[in-house]
Amino acid sequence: MDHRSTENLFAVVSPGLEAVCADEITALGLPPQEVIAGGVVFSGKLRDIYLANLWLRTASRILVRFAEFKSRDFPDLYHRAHRLPWGRFIKPETSIAFRVTCRTSRLNHTVRIAETLESAANQALGRSTNPVGKDPQMVMVRVVDDKVTISIDSSGELLHRRGYRQSVTTAPLRETLAAGILMLLGWQETSSLTDPMCGSGSFLLEGALLAQNHAPGLNRSFAFMKWPGFREGLWALLSDEAKRAVREVPLAISGSDESTRAVTAAKENCQKNGFAEKIAIEQWALAEQSVHEGR
């Protein structure tokens, strides 16, 4: 992938957080082109793809719009897909996984659409089959009203997987949602933050990361690192800049939960991420806590 080319990008966002994500993208110097249900449309170069994955707290994925065309039958779909420059994003040895959705289109068989695109991509990449491997390159395909949109996932694992939370409870709150709620509330690091039903600590940890200006993507890997045009030096530079941007500030963050398992998980997560002495966590039922505070 040419680092100088401008790509059409799409940040996938949980419903209700689109405006927050748009503000984040604007803060990166990448004015959003359109805010729609489920995401934000913007554009940027390779550097901006790296930055979006590194810094966006509310996005679930960053997609690169690879192709868009009308198609109503499988021979035409194959013909058009075969001509696409798959090698910009996929090495010959990299496996591909297609995720297809379709609606109100002549092409309405998701499995066959995926098989057709896989065959076309393999041919274009000069290979006979799709290699079997870990962490395949995800390709998102959307077919609506006979319009085929093909997007390359640059993120890999969903971006709520920050790389810091290792101990979890049942149905933990996603980090992207926790960060989005805090940002919607306008919470500032100078204010206190208390979560009386903290679970494994999503609100507490996201609050700490926000307060310290800690980039959420610093401790994980991304799909773009396997692209043919991955610029390791550029990524190292952006990562180093993000590390230098972290600020040490006093935290007024605390949490509690009635579950022993939840409290243990939250404490372990704080310990593993250097917040053991900065975030207070106790075991209390919410009703007991209210009585305790009222005395």
pLDDT in tens, 92-144: 999 999 999 999 999 999 999 999 999 999 999 999 999 988 889 999 999 99
Q: Which two tokens stand for residue 200?
A: 């494994």
pLDDT-wise least confident of 29-33, 167-171, 223-227: 167-171
Percent of residues, the chain, with pLDDT higher than 90:
83
What pLDDT sits at residue 289?
62
Q: Is the pLDDT of residue 234 over 90?
A: yes
CATH number of 7-153: 3.30.2130.30
Which carries the bigger pLDDT value, residue 170 or residue 14? 14
Torsion from C-alpha of 132, 135, 137, 143, nearest 10 degrees: 90
Whole-structure pTM value: 0.92
- Give me the mean pLDDT over the 153-159 stretch: 97
CA 14 to chain centre: 10
Q: Is the pLDDT of residue 167 over 70?
A: no
Nearest Cα residue to 281 out of 216, 203, 210: 203
Domains of the chain, by residue range, sit at 7-153, 160-212+248-295
Adjacent-strand bridge partners of 257:
283
Q: Is the pLDDT of residue 209 over 90?
A: yes
Token pair 């297609």 is found at 98
**Distance of alpha carbon 114 from alpha carbon 70, whole angstroms:** 16
Strand order in the sheet with 96-103: 34-36, 39-44, 7-13, 59-70, 147-153, 137-144, 96-103
- Give me the mean pLDDT over the 52-78 stretch: 98
Torsion from C-alpha of 94, 91, 114, 47, nearest 10 degrees: 110
Q: How confident is the model at residue 244 (pLDDT cuts 50, 70, 90)?
A: very high
177-182, long-range: CB < 8 A, 24+ apart: 177/14, 177/17, 177/202, 178/202, 178/203, 178/205, 178/206, 179/57, 179/58, 179/206, 179/209, 179/210, 179/216, 180/14, 180/16, 180/17, 180/20, 180/21, 180/57, 180/58, 182/206, 182/207, 182/210
CATH of 160-212+248-295, one of 3.10.105.10, 3.40.50.150, 3.40.50.620, 3.40.50.300: 3.40.50.150
**Average pLDDT of the residues of the chain:** 93
